[in-house]
Amino acid sequence: MKIVEARVIVTCPGRNFVTLKIVCSDGTTGVGDATLNGRELAVAAYLTEHVVPALIGRDPARIEDTWQYLYRGAYWRRGPVTMTAIAAVDTALWDIKGKVAGLPVYQLLGGRSRSGVQVYGHASGSSTSDVLASVAGFVSRGYRAVRVQAEVPGIPDIYGISSGPAYEPATFGVATESSWSTPDYLAHIPAVFEAVRDEFGPTLQLLHDVHHRLTPIEAARLGKSLEPYALTWMEDPVPAELQDGFRLIRQHTTTPLAVGEVFNSIFDCSTLISERLIDYIRTTVVHAGGITHLRRIFDLAALYQVRSGSHGATDLSPVCMSAALHLDLAIPNFGLQEYMPHTAETDAVFPHGYRFADGYLHPAEEPGLGVDIDESLAATFPYRPAALPVNRLTDGTMHDW
Ligand code: GCO
Ligand code: MG
């Protein structure tokens, strides 16, 4: 069997998604997510111009060899565009291997290590009473883990506040601007978690995303002030390229740390994992080189008791979510999976068999990944330029979003 075609499909059923569909000589197809939020066409061009021509005529069964060919063969290694393109190919080839074997992909990865994949959703609100109502909504829908984000008095347009169930930070057109004040934020957030713990008791798992905005000593202070509320994790407290900073955070707080949604290779993770500077690694299939490379990262993490906590916001398509669930089910060191449901239009463009029940997601049992793209429906939603926000301090200085 040979690869005879690979189509790069860009569609915007409410937000942009890039999908690679590989077609084999016997008609078997496989899909991979290639969406990089706000930079979609860069990955689409990388695939169309540089990857697809190299795939034609290759044996789809040789997943590892194709991964190495695309990684080593590019000379220019790593980076989000390259690794997202490689991820799309890798994911599609695992889908094909599952279909050829007649098995769901998790069986090819060693079979189930658990009965389901525990997920967390995003609660948020403008006032503390809105936050409590939002958390209550997740609890009533069966979630056992909830990320909590709150508006901070004095900071308009803060990250993470959603007006509907499908939270989406990207907007059409050029980037909007949001704002930030570390003193206002640090003064406000502990009281929000105090209110949530008082209302929901000690066992609901609570998480919080700082979205890369603090310095290490500020993050250490926040971690300490949140200790009484026993968070499952504090996410991305500082920009993670300065990895030395995590040593300082660790000296001061026992609040667990989760990092990695913007990482794209094992080399971004290795110091944080091997020095036990984090507790959860949040790399994901689409941005970290596919199932093959993410498995390598999770295996390294397992040696150091670091657990997975993959990114799963709505800019990761149902194709990525399907692939993530197969890996989550199989690995020994699974922690949590982020899950925010997509819009009805997105679900229609990407028919999938995974299902949510009692706080857990369950992958489809059909051969392969159990997800596809409806190409004629996708064609009715043309690409629209969109961007993530940028962020400024209240005096106008550019800051990390
Ligand atoms: C999360 C993330 C997202 C990202 C978004 C960027 O933890 O879910 O931080 O909200 O900002 O996915 O594309
Ligand atoms: Mg995050």
Ligand 1 atom 2 nearest Cα: 313
For residue range 188-204, what is the model confidence (pLDDT) as tens digits?
999 999 999 999 999 99
Is 394 within 8 Å of 179 (Cβ atoms)?
Answer: yes
The pLDDT value recorded for residue 343 is: 95
Is residue 13 in some structural domain?
A: yes
- Catalytic residue flag (residue 69): no
Are 125 and 267 in the same domain?
A: yes
Are 201 and 343 in the same domain?
A: yes
CA distance 125 to 192: 10
**Any idea what the CATH number is for the domain that residue 223 is in?**
3.20.20.120
Q: Which residues have C-beta within 8 Å of that of residue 244, sequence separation ≥ 6?
A: none
Domain count, the chain: 2
Is residue 304 in some structural domain?
A: yes
Helix (H) or strand (E) holding 98: helix 80-101
Q: Please state, as a whole number, how many other Cβ atoms lie within 10 Å of the Cβ of residue 164.
A: 7
Is the Cβ atom of 168 under 6 angstroms away from ligand 1?
no
Are 193 and 273 in the same domain?
A: yes
The pLDDT value recorded for residue 165 is: 65
- The ligand that comes nearest to the alpha carbon of residue 160 is 1
Atom of ligand 1 at shortest range from CA of 160: 10
- Catalytic residue flag (residue 311): no
Are 120 and 141 in the same domain?
A: yes
End residue of a domain, out of 84, 104, 124: 104
For residue range 266-302, what is the model confidence (pLDDT) as tens digits?
999 999 999 999 999 999 999 999 999 999 999 999 9
CA distance 323 to 369: 6
For the stretch 127-140, what's the b/e string if a residue is b when 16 or more beta carbons lie within 10 angstroms of its beta carbon? ebeebbebbeebee
Model pTM? Answer: 0.97
Are 182 and 140 in the same domain?
A: yes
For residue range 345-389, what is the model confidence (pLDDT) as tens digits?
999 999 999 999 999 999 999 999 999 999 999 999 999 999 999
Is residue 150 in some structural domain?
A: yes
CA distance 346 to 124: 23
Is 225 within 8 Å of 185 (Cβ atoms)?
Answer: no
Is residue 386 in some structural domain?
A: no
- What domain range is 225 assigned to? 108-365
CA distance 49 to 36: 17
Are 331 and 285 in the same domain?
A: yes
Q: Please state, as a whole number, how many other Cβ atoms lie within 10 Å of the Cβ of residue 293.
A: 21
The pLDDT value recorded for residue 270 is: 97
